[in-house]
């Protein structure tokens, strides 16, 4: 049996990404791990519902041995078995993120001997996680470039705090991802804003999109109201999608009680403008998520507008499971991330 990897969840930014990355790579490498101080850097430490479901999903997919674990737990021991494909269904039971659960198990299911269909219910759009469209358009597109076949269907929207959303993912086996170097984004192909509203006045969407149009210089055809059934709400998500020759980026802001529509628009616009001005290929959040599949491919590189503490912590965890080195180099207005086998 392989030696147990010991992880401290309080290291670095101290969030749930440490646990999710460990689960993913434990499944793939067959390496058991033990983690203490789970999410020690958060206001409510320990496992939340979405983290617990990620553990349960990972355990089911590889028939792992897991000790007693529950919401609030700050210690976990995980010993994986063989990954198996199939039909899976996981219910978070709250507005906890479906996307983060899927990102935990996606790479592992690529290593399954047969195809998989995964249904996850919970939150699809909340401020603490990437929205479903980020998986579909940004993360999913890069996985496809690396040879993976992953299709993600947004069956029902789920906003905080009600949840009730549903994502369905179809994953084909792909034991070895291709290495890619993503240094340039290429020419812009498209750019547009979408405002999703459920159970709130349509005037909110209009104001948010008007602000985006003025700030980005976009016309009416690029400003799209996406009205949803009232029973999905209350909820409001503003998404800016920038499609380039080599990459697609998605920036998001969420409406909140007592927060003006103009403030919501400014959040999304500021992030998109920072990315555009940098000249980098990927934004901060895509950079964070892209490191793991790149490490599984055995190498590659990309440029990014920002390297967060979240990314640095994730890189350190990846290096505990895989024989890779991840470096971040300053290149003026952006950073270059390089993954090398050691």
143: which residues sit within 8 A by CB, 6+ positions away? 106, 150, 177, 293
Query: Residue 177, annotated ligand binder?
Result: no
Maximum Cα–Cα distance for the chain, whole Å?
61
Catalytic entry in 111, 125, 246, 310: 310
Whether residue 310 lies in the annotated active site: yes
SS3 assignment for 216-257: HCCCHHHEEEEECCHHHCCEEEEEEEEEECCCEEEEEEECCC
Residue count of the chain: 342
Is 74 annotated as contributing to ligand binding?
no
288 is in an annotated binding site: yes
Phi, psi of 204 (to 5 degrees): -65, -45
Contact 160, 184 (CB under 8 A): no
Has 286 been labeled as part of a binding site?
yes
111 is in an annotated binding site: no
Ramachandran bin of 239, using left for φ above 0, alpha for ψ from -120 to 50, beta for the remaining angles: beta
Strands 223-227 and 188-198: parallel
Cα(218)–Cα(230) distance, integer angstroms: 28
User: In the numeric block, which tokens belong to residue 328?
Assistant: 């971040």
Give the separation between CA 86 and CA 60, rounded to whole angstroms.
11
289 assigned ligand-binding residue: yes
User: Half-sphere exposure (CA, 13 Å, Cβ side) for 106?
Assistant: 29
Q: Which residues are annotated as a binding site?
A: 103, 285-289
Q: Which residues are annotated as a binding site for ATP?
A: 103, 285-289
Question: Which residues are catalytic, by number?
Answer: 310
């Amino acid at each position: 049996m392989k030696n147990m990897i010991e992880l401290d969840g309080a290291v670095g930014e101290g969030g749930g990404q440490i646990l999710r990355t460990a689960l993913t790579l434990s499944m793939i490498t067959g390496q058991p791990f033990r983690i203490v101080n789970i999410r020690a850097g958060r206001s409510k430490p320990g496992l939340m519902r979405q983290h617990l479901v990620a553990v349960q999903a990972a355990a089911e997919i590889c028939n792992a041995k897991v000790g007693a674990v529950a919401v609030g737990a700050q210690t976990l021991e995980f010993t994986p078995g063989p990954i198996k494909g199939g039909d899976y269904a996981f219910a978070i039971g709250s507005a906890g993120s479906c996307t983060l659960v899927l990102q935990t198990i996606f790479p592992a299911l690529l290593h399954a001997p047969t195809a998989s269909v995964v249904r996850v219910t919970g939150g699809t759009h909340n401020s603490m996680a990437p929205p479903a469209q980020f998986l579909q358009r940004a993360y999913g597109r890069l996985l496809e470039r690396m040879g993976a076949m992953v299709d993600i269907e947004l069956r029902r929207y789920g906003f905080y705090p009600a949840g009730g959303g549903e994502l369905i993912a179809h994953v084909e086996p792909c034991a070895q991802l291709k290495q890619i170097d993503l240094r340039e984004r290429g020419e812009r192909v498209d750019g547009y804003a979408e405002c999703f509203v459920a159970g709130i006045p349509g005037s909110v969407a209009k104001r948010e999109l008007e602000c985006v149009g003025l700030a980005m210089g976009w016309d009416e055809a690029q400003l799209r109201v996406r009205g949803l059934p009232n029973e999905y709400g209350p909820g409001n998500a503003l998404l800016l999608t920038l499609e380039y020759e080599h990459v697609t980026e998605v920036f998001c802001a969420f409406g909140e009680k007592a927060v003006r529509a103009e403030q919501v628009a400014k959040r999304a616009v500021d992030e998109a403008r920072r990315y555009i001005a940098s000249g980098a290929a990927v934004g901060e959040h895509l950079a964070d998520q892209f490191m793991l599949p790149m490490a599984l491919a055995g190498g590659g590189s990309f440029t990014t507008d920002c390297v967060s503490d979240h990314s640095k912590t994730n890189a350190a965890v990846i290096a505990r499971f895989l024989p890779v080195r991840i470096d971040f180099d300053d290149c003026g207005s952006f950073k270059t991330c390089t993954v090398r086998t050691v």
